[in-house]
Structure 1
Amino acid sequence: MKTYKPGEYWEQRLSQDFDLSGVGHKGLSLDYNIQLYNRRLEVLKSRLSQAKIDISQSRVLEIGCGNGFYTQFFTQHQVREYVGIDITSVSIDNLQQQFPDHRFVCADISELDVSHLEGKFDIVFAADVMFHIVDDEKFKAVIRNVACVLRSGGLLIISDILPQETTQTALHVRLRSKSEYSRLFQENGLTIRYIEPIFVIAHPSPTYGHHLLWNVITIFWKSLLRVKFKRWLIVDSMICRLLLWLDRKFLCPKYGQKTPNSKYIFAYKQ
């Protein structure tokens, strides 16, 4: 029986593809993944702007810095300090060369003693990371450590799916419900302030939902991935553009809060 070993799994993936296909969806083309990450950034910037959150001069800790997509974002916004943590040496080695002014640490955040960093950071950021922590005790440890290193009033930004019920959809994917997040946040002095939808249909739905629409979307994506449409570049590009347009204009504003797909969660430390 296969077991999920996060360090080995991600070391192999990023060693093979140190780009957005390495950290993104393996069933999609590199170009499609790039467009999805641009959408993630678009939504992040929009919410930060709407909430009047100025991240410049902030001390930022990123958990799971991967190939450095968000490292570049924080660098462009001239944050005062940036620390990136990842469980893979390939990530840390590459990013330390690309961003010599930042600090990178190869470690499992759930196993770190962070008592000496209590209240150090203004922002902790973890994009598409938390659902890869499938062990519940490690997940709880990460939340505790995040709460410890955030200053009072500090901001936690994560992206996750938030299905109605916690479920495991793959060996390396465990999706926690909003109620589970809320409970763990409350236990650690964190309060959810905003939930901002990123995708409804443009990204493959990772799980069936409690609504006919979500189940139709899931079946739609399973069929698309089965035919490996990324082989046909024109089709790939057309599908990507159409689905992102639908998400921006119609689906995210109307259905985004309830759909079992990616959302940003903004939580503050009390």
Structure 2
Amino acid sequence: MDDAKTKEAQYQVILEAAQERGVERFGLRSSESWYEDPKHLVFRLSRYKFVAKMLSGRRHVLEVGCGDAFGIRIVQAEVEKLTAIDFDPVFIEDVQQRMVPRWAFDARVHDMLEGPVPGSFDAVFALDVLEHIDPKDEKLFLANSFASLDPNGCAIIGVPSLESQVYASPQSKEGHVNCKTAPDLKTLLQDYFHNVFIFSMNDEVVHTGYHKMAHYVFALCAGKR
């Protein structure tokens, strides 16, 4: 490998990078997706791309329920600082083991049902998290998620649509106890923000189309109450 040469010189840097710092690996969840159904990894990364562009230029962003945080670099590239939390130590340990200096961020174990994250943030986002929260706990979860937001902070919440669940896999259905229709998600979040903008998503495409045909729903929130 040390003596290997690519046929096109511009690709030699790829070998040199692998020799210098090794080859990076997937996270726990992303690895399973890549093996079982690769297109789902594309969908997930597209959700991070949407968040990244909406939050571009933010000072300090909080991700709630980061899982293996595999897509988080897409957001990091657009913001000054990022903190990620998850209530499962298994995922946070995996994240920390894969951390590299260039893309370092604060990853910590925290259960949002036990209280807000200490600190101050000008944006917060949660992708594929709210649907796992028992409906009786959703108001506590959201109140704690938004408690550390600056007065001018914003939030993005993304969930699978309720309408999509007839097509969900058994594994997904087992954890999805609180999916929302677009109108229901908007109504819920209007208790916390003056402005809630809804986007639909099908596969990797975000749009403003008919929400009942969307597989996924984004709420972009601003104007904290």
Higher strand proportion (structure 1 or 2)? 2
**Deviations, residues 22-66 of structure 1 (Å, cap 9, x unaligned):** 4x599x52x222322343345445xx3xxxx55235201101111
- Which among 199, 205, 217 is matched to residue 263 of structure 1? 217
Distance (Å, rounded) in 2 between the aligned partners of 1:67 and 1:157:
19
Distance (Å, rounded) in 2 between the aligned partners of 1:128 and 1:111:
19
Match of 1:108 in 2: 111
Q: Is the 8 A contact 1:161 1:263 kept in 2?
A: yes
Q: Structure 1 106/125 Cα, relative in aligned 2: closer, same or farther at 3 Å?
A: same
Q: Structure 1 190/132 Cα, relative in aligned 2: closer, same or farther at 3 Å?
A: farther
Correspondences of 1:1-270 after superposition (within 5 Å): 18-20=28-30, 22=32, 28-29=36-37, 31-44=38-51, 48=53, 53=54, 55-77=56-78, 79-97=79-97, 98-99=99-100, 101-114=104-117, 117=119, 120-133=120-133, 135-163=134-162, 170-173=173-176, 174-193=178-197, 195-199=198-202, 202=203, 248=205, 255-270=209-224
Distance (Å, rounded) in 2 between the aligned partners of 1:75 and 1:254:
26
Match of 2:7 in 1: none
Q: Secondary structure at the match of 1:170?
A: helix
**Deviations, residues 130-188 of structure 1 (Å, cap 9, x unaligned):** 1111x123211111112211112211112113437x99x83310212334333332333
Q: Percent identity?
A: 21
Counterpart residue type for residue 172 of structure 1: G
| Number of matched pairs | 190
Higher relative contact order (CA 8 A, sep 6+): 1
Q: Is the 8 A contact 1:163 1:176 kept in 2?
A: yes
Counterpart residue type for residue 259 of structure 1: M
Distance (Å, rounded) in 2 between the aligned partners of 1:147 and 1:42:
22
Alpha-carbon RMSD across the aligned residues, in angstroms, is 3.3
Q: Secondary structure at the match of 1:139?
A: helix
Q: Secondary structure at the match of 1:104?
A: strand
Q: Structure 1 254/181 Cα, relative in aligned 2: closer, same or farther at 3 Å?
A: closer
Relative to the length of structure 2, the TM-score reads: 0.69
Distance (Å, rounded) in 1 between the aligned partners of 2:200 and 2:145:
22
Q: Structure 1 185/54 Cα, relative in aligned 2: closer, same or farther at 3 Å?
A: closer
Q: Structure 1 36/107 Cα, relative in aligned 2: closer, same or farther at 3 Å?
A: same
Counterpart residue type for residue 144 of structure 2: N
Match of 1:211 in 2: none
Q: Structure 1 70/190 Cα, relative in aligned 2: closer, same or farther at 3 Å?
A: farther
Distance (Å, rounded) in 2 between the aligned partners of 1:105 and 1:163:
30
Q: Structure 1 113/153 Cα, relative in aligned 2: closer, same or farther at 3 Å?
A: closer
Counterpart residue type for residue 140 of structure 2: A
What is the CA-CA distance between 1:260 and the residue it aligns to?
4.3
Higher helix proportion (structure 1 or 2)? 1
Counterpart residue type for residue 212 of structure 2: K
Q: Is the 8 A contact 2:199 2:217 kept in 1?
A: yes
Distance (Å, rounded) in 2 between the aligned partners of 1:121 and 1:254:
28
What is the CA-CA distance between 1:92 and the residue it aligns to?
1.1
Please, which runs of 5 or more residues in structure 1 have no aligned partner?
Answer: 1-16, 203-243
